[in-house]
C-alpha cells in the first residue's frame, strides 16, 4: 500500500508555564518597551473585563461574554496584526479590539444594547462582533479576496471558537481560502468549552489545527496562554499571507476561566477542580514572571499599573453610563442608504409611542 498523504501538527511555545524561556526569543520580545506594552494591555483588558461583569451583575450592562483567561491569545493577535489589516472577531476578543483602537466605551455601549457601539471610530475597516457562529470566517475570506483582486498588501484575520469549527461555514471558509490562496489567517481560540460542550464531544479530531489539512493549508497549534508564541506564530502567518503564500490556521490553546456569558452557570457542567487547575496556567502569570526576571517589573509598578487601569476603566464606564438612550429614529436611520416612504411613516409612529413629549400623533399604527 502506498502512502499518498500524511500530516504533522506542530505545537509552539516560547514562554513556559513558569515564565521560563523555552525557545529562542523573537525580536519583539527583546524590546522591553514592547513587552511592557503587551503586559499592560493584557492587564487592562483583565481589569476592564472584571468591571464589565460587575456592571452586568448590577443591572447596568446586558449579557456579557467575559474574556478572562484569553488575554495572551487576544493581545498576541492584536500585536501581530498591522493597523491596515482587517479583523473579523467573534464576540469575546476585546483584547485584540482594544489593541487595534476600539474603545472600552464602544464595547460597553454595544453590550449595553446600543448599536452605536459597533460604529468604531478606529479601526473603521474592522467587522463588528459576530454572534451567529462561524459566519465571520467567510467574511474574512471575502475581505481577503477583495485585497487580492485590488492588489492591496493587506490581510484579514478571523477568529473562531472551538465549537465554531463544527459549523459548515468554517469548513467552507477554509476551503475557499485554500483554493484561492487568499491572504487570510484563521485563529481558533480553543478554550475547551462551547458553552457546556467540551471539545472532545465536539469532534473526534486530536487537534483543531489539523482541520486545515483537508483544506490544503498549514495548521499549527500554539500555547494560547503564551503571548510571545501567539504573536510570533500569528505574525509569521500574516506575513506569509501578505507575501502571497496563502492562508493558514492557528489553534491557540487556552481556557475559558469564566462562565460562557453572564447568563451562563458553568458550575452546572464542569468541575471546580478543572477550573482551579486552569488558573495555575493563566496567561498573566508567566509574562509577569518574565518581566520580573528581566528586571523590568516589581510590586510597586504592578500597583501603579492596576491603579492606572482602574482609572481608565472608570472613565470609560462613566462615559458609557452618561450616554442617553438612542432615539427611536435609530431603528430606521441606518436600515437603507435612503429610507423608503413606508418606513418614514413608521418612523413617525415609533416617535409618537416613544413617550417623548412634543411629537404629534401620526395617522395609522
DSSP 3-state assignment of 254? coil
Respond yes or no: is residue 270 known to be catalytic: no
Q: Does residue 121 belong to the site contacting another protein (CB under 8 A)?
A: no
Alpha helices in 84-132 (DSSP H): 94-100, 104-111
* DSSP summary character for residue 365: -
Q: Which stretch binds another protein (CB under 8 A): 17-25, 72-80, 190-198, 212-220?
A: 190-198
Q: Does residue 206 belong to the site contacting another protein (CB under 8 A)?
A: no
CB of 345 to another protein, least distance (A): 10
* DSSP summary character for residue 122: S
**What is the Cα–Cα distance from 224 to 228, expressed in whole angstroms?**
9
Q: Does residue 343 belong to the site contacting another protein (CB under 8 A)?
A: yes
60/103 with CB nearer another protein: 60
Q: Which stretch binds another protein (CB under 8 A): 38-46, 149-157, 193-201, 287-295?
A: 193-201
**What is the Cα–Cα distance from 68 to 275, expressed in whole angstroms?**
12
32/354 with CB nearer another protein: 354
* C-alpha to C-alpha distances, 14 to 99, 187, 289, nearest whole angstrom: 22, 18, 13
DSSP run (H or E) holding 221: strand 219-223
CB of 363 to another protein, least distance (A): 9
Nine-digit cell at 53?
461583569
Q: Does residue 203 belong to the site contacting another protein (CB under 8 A)?
A: yes
19/198 with CB nearer another protein: 198
Q: Does residue 362 belong to the site contacting another protein (CB under 8 A)?
A: no
- Site residues for another protein, 220-259, by CB under 8 A, read none
**What is the Cα–Cα distance from 21 to 290, expressed in whole angstroms?**
8
**8 A C-beta contact, residue 64 and residue 261:** yes
Residue from 71, 85, 93, 114 touching another protein (CB under 8 A): that is 114
Q: Which of 46, 74, 154, 256 is catalytic?
A: 256
Respond yes or no: is residue 64 known to be catalytic: no
**What is the Cα–Cα distance from 91 to 97, expressed in whole angstroms?**
10
DSSP for 288-313 reads HHHHHHTT---HHHHHHHHHHHHHHH
* C-alpha to C-alpha distances, 268 to 53, 195, 255, nearest whole angstrom: 19, 11, 17
Respond yes or no: is residue 39 known to be catalytic: no
Q: Which stretch binds another protein (CB under 8 A): 177-185, 231-239, 246-254, 344-352?
A: 344-352
CB of 26 to another protein, least distance (A): 34
Q: Does residue 269 belong to the site contacting another protein (CB under 8 A)?
A: yes
Residue from 83, 168, 295, 358 touching another protein (CB under 8 A): that is 168
DSSP run (H or E) holding 116: none
C-alpha 226: how far from chain center = 16
* DSSP summary character for residue 355: T
Task: Write the binding mask 128 to 147 for another protein: x where contact by CB under 8 A, - elsewhere.
Answer: -x-xxx--------------
Binding interface with another protein (CB under 8 A)? 62-63, 91, 110-115, 129, 131-133, 163-164, 166-169, 194-197, 201-203, 261, 263-264, 268-269, 325-326, 328, 330-332, 335, 342-343, 346, 349-350, 353-354, 365
Active site residues: 256, 260, 269
Amino acid at each position: 500500500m502506498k502512502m499518498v498523504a500524511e500530516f504533522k501538527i506542530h505545537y509552539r511555545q516560547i514562554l513556559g508555564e513558569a515564565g521560563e524561556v523555552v525557545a529562542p526569543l523573537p525580536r519583539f520580545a527583546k524590546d522591553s518597551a514592547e513587552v511592557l506594552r503587551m503586559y499592560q494591555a493584557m492587564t487592562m483588558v483583565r481589569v476592564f473585563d472584571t468591571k464589565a461583569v460587575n456592571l452586568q451583575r448590577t443591572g447596568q450592562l446586558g449579557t456579557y461574554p467575559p474574556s478572562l483567561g484569553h488575554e495572551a491569545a487576544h493581545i498576541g493577535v492584536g500585536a501581530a496584526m498591522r493597523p491596515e489589516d482587517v479583523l473579523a472577531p467573534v464576540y469575546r476578543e476585546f483584547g485584540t479590539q482594544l489593541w487595534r483602537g476600539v474603545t472600552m466605551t464602544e464595547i460597553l455601549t454595544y453590550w449595553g444594547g446600543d448599536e452605536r457601539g459597533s460604529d468604531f471610530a478606529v479601526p473603521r475597516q474592522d467587522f463588528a462582533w459576530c454572534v451567529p457562529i462561524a459566519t465571520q470566517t467567510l467574511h474574512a475570506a471575502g475581505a481577503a479576496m477583495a485585497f487580492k483582486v485590488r492588489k492591496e498588501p493587506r490581510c484579514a484575520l478571523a477568529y473562531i471558537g472551538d465549537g465554531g469549527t463544527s459549523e459548515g461555514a468554517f469548513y467552507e471558509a477554509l476551503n475557499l481560502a485554500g483554493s484561492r490562496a487568499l491572504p487570510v489567517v484563521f485563529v481558533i481560540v480553543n478554550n475547551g468549552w462551547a458553552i457546556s460542550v467540551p471539545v472532545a464531544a465536539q469532534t473526534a479530531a486530536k487537534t483543531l489545527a489539523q482541520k486545515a489539512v483537508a483544506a490544503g493549508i498549514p495548521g499549527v497549534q500554539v500555547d494560547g496562554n503564551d503571548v510571545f508564541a501567539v504573536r510570533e506564530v500569528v505574525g509569521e502567518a500574516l506575513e506569509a499571507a501578505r507575501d502571497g503564500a496563502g492562508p493558514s490556521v492557528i489553534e491557540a490553546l487556552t481556557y475559558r476561566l469564566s462562565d460562557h456569558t453572564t447568563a451562563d452557570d458553568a458550575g452546572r457542567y464542569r468541575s471546580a477542580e478543572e477550573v482551579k487547575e486552569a488558573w495555575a496556567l493563566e496567561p498573566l502569570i508567566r509574562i509577569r514572571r518574565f518581566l520580573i526576571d528581566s528586571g523590568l517589573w516589581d510590586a510597586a509598578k504592578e500597583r501603579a499599573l492596576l491603579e492606572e487601569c482602574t482609572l481608565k476603566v472608570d472613565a470609560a464606564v462613566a462615559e458609557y453610563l452618561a450616554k442617553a438612550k438612542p432615539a427611536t429614529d435609530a431603528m430606521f436611520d441606518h436600515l437603507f442608504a435612503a429610507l423608503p416612504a413606508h418606513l418614514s411613516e413608521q418612523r413617525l409612529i415609533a416617535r409618537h409611542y416613544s413617550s417623548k413629549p412634543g411629537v404629534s400623533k401620526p395617522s395609522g399604527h
